[in-house]
Amino acid sequence: MPDATARRVDTPLGPILAHRDGDLWRARGVPYARADRFQRPSPVAPWRRPFDAATPAPVSPQRVDGLMESVSPGYVDRLGVDEHCQRVSVTWPAGAGDEPLPVIVWIHGGSYLTGGGDLEGFDPALMVREQRVIVVAVTYRLGLLGWLGDDRFAPANLGLLDIIEALRWVRTCIEGFGGDPTRVTAMGQSAGGDAITALMAVPEARGLFRRAIVQSAPLGIGDRRGAMQRAMLKAVHPVDTAMSVDDVLHANAEIYRVSRKHGLKGLMPYGPQWGRYPLPPESGRDAATAASRDVDLLMGHMSDEGVVVGAALPALGKAFQAPVVGGAVRHAVAGSLQAAVYEKGAARFVEAHRRAGGNAVQYLLGWKATGSAIADGHGMDIPVLLGDPDAWVRTEGLRHESPDRIRRVGTAIRQVWGDFARRGRVAPESAAAASEWLRLS
């Protein structure tokens, strides 16, 4: 008898064996590219025998991220670490029918240093189930291995090139999963959102996604980074291309230490390097991005991003925790930090997109997590979009919150995101249902 818990998906690259997960299908850890260390990625070679997509994607070498560890305990050991981490995982609803479904390509954040597409905190099950979409989660190279190249010891922007290859894989293969390759939405948070704004300026990425959902991209610290990048290179120069993974992690830590001397920019030391392939010079960024006017854009941030930014700066972090005056310090500076890192950059990007003739919706999200010191701070959009609410309440920032409330808020927010992925706009009734927490403009 046929195995009802597994099914073959035929793609132009070869057959894939997907596995049933309740009312969902999952194909995990499918390779989309291959690259040796410090080399640009190449499309994965086709295969003949079915690829058994039962194992989640490994993560790029990294230190453990505390927030993700609290949601996904032991995630680094459980998922494994592999420099050849260029994998995608596809989740889609069972019984989807014959009509092609919209596709959301999830690009995780983590300051280009931590994270992975298959972390439990990023599980797209609720989004897929409620919105009848396909979600493709991308894992790409991080840190020194993906983002420090200077075109001497290594090409620049390797992590960005990985993401482009993943989007090409989606264009080539997603029809086999029942997806519509003409309705692909790139969705990313923090560094993932920052990467999407860079992709919008890359000619090679044109046509790979029709829509973009950009969450809390730190655009205010993404430009004029040359001096910091030179200091980062100097800290590990010369780079030993044969270094061990432990040495790579040690170098990442040293680079992060050096970058902290560069103020706010040092909070995200790695990132796209403008003026190095495939990105245009920074002076031509606006013109290049304007060419992506055909990409529908949903862009915004949390309503109190600055509280997490301030806590990450050594001097301010201590001041925020000071008895009596800590709350006053936070109130005085958090708004300015939010404006500098997130708010002004998003407003400029949206306005430029609209001036170029593009369709853009801007949002502000604040759902006021119960009893949380970082109630509407950076990263608090993820619990109401992805992951399991029962797992999220194990985190320090949500330990006073109820899973039921996270589900209730999340259902409304996911409906808005789903509307946008389907049509490039938000239905009035969806906007009204989410209006207690979400402001659209």
**How many Cα atoms occupy the beta-carbon half-sphere of 84 within 13 Å?**
10
| 202 in Cβ contact with 278 (< 8 Å) | yes
Examine the pLDDT at 323 and tell me if it is beyond 80.
no
- Residue 329 within a domain: no
The tokens of 233 are what? 């290179």
- Residue 202 within a domain: yes
Helix (H) or strand (E) holding 159: helix 158-173
Domain that holds residue 164: 6-222+278-302+339-440
Strands 296-302 and 360-365: parallel
The model's confidence at residue 336, banded by pLDDT at 50, 70 and 90, is: confident
Give me the number of domains the chain comprises: 1
**How many Cα atoms occupy the beta-carbon half-sphere of 434 within 13 Å?**
28
Residues above pLDDT 90, as percent of the chain: 78
User: What is the model's pLDDT at position 326?
Assistant: 45
Q: How far is CA 231 from CA 68, 179, 228, 236, in A?
A: 29, 44, 5, 9
What is the CATH number for 22? 3.40.50.1820
- Mean pLDDT confidence for 404-409: 97
Catalytic residue among 111, 216, 292, 305: 305
- Mean pLDDT confidence for 91-118: 94
Please confirm, yes or no, whether 305 is among the known catalytic residues: yes
- Which residue from 215, 260, 167 is spatially nearest to 385, judged by alpha carbons? 215
Please confirm, yes or no, whether 108 is among the known catalytic residues: no
- Residue 266 within a domain: no
Examine the pLDDT at 401 and tell me if it is beyond 60.
yes
Mean pLDDT of the chain: 92
The residue length of the chain stands at 441
- Those residues whose C-beta lies under 8 Å from the C-beta of residue 125, and which sit 6 or more positions away, are 21, 24, 91, 388
**pLDDT tens digits, 60-86:** 999 988 878 888 888 999 999 999 999
Q: How far is CA 311 from CA 21, 33, 259, 316, in A?
A: 39, 37, 17, 6
- Residue 370 within a domain: yes
Q: Residue 101: beta bridge partners?
A: 179
- Those residues whose C-beta lies under 8 Å from the C-beta of residue 231, and which sit 6 or more positions away, are 258, 259, 261, 262
Catalytic residue among 72, 190, 303, 430: 190
- Residue 323 within a domain: no
The tokens of 439 are what? 């402001």
- Residue 331 within a domain: no
> What sign results for the dihedral spanned by CA atoms 332, 336, 341, 345?
positive
- Those residues whose C-beta lies under 8 Å from the C-beta of residue 297, and which sit 6 or more positions away, are 211, 212, 214, 350, 353, 358, 359, 360, 361
> What sign results for the dihedral spanned by CA atoms 105, 109, 111, 114?
negative
Examine the pLDDT at 315 and tell me if it is beyond 70.
no
- Residue 328 within a domain: no
Report, in this order, helix, strand and coil percent for the chain, each rounded to 5: 40, 20, 40
Catalytic residue among 89, 378, 401, 430: 378
User: What is the model's pLDDT at position 97?
Assistant: 77
User: What is the model's pLDDT at position 324?
Assistant: 40
3-class secondary-structure state, position 136: strand
**pLDDT tens digits, 284-293:** 998 999 999 9
Please confirm, yes or no, whether 378 is among the known catalytic residues: yes
| 424 in Cβ contact with 418 (< 8 Å) | no
Report how far residue 143's alpha carbon sits from residue 273's, in angstroms, rounded to the nearest whole number.
Answer: 13
| 38 in Cβ contact with 228 (< 8 Å) | no
- Mean pLDDT confidence for 157-177: 98
Examine the pLDDT at 1 and tell me if it is beyond 50.
no
DSSP state of 378: T
- Residue 326 within a domain: no
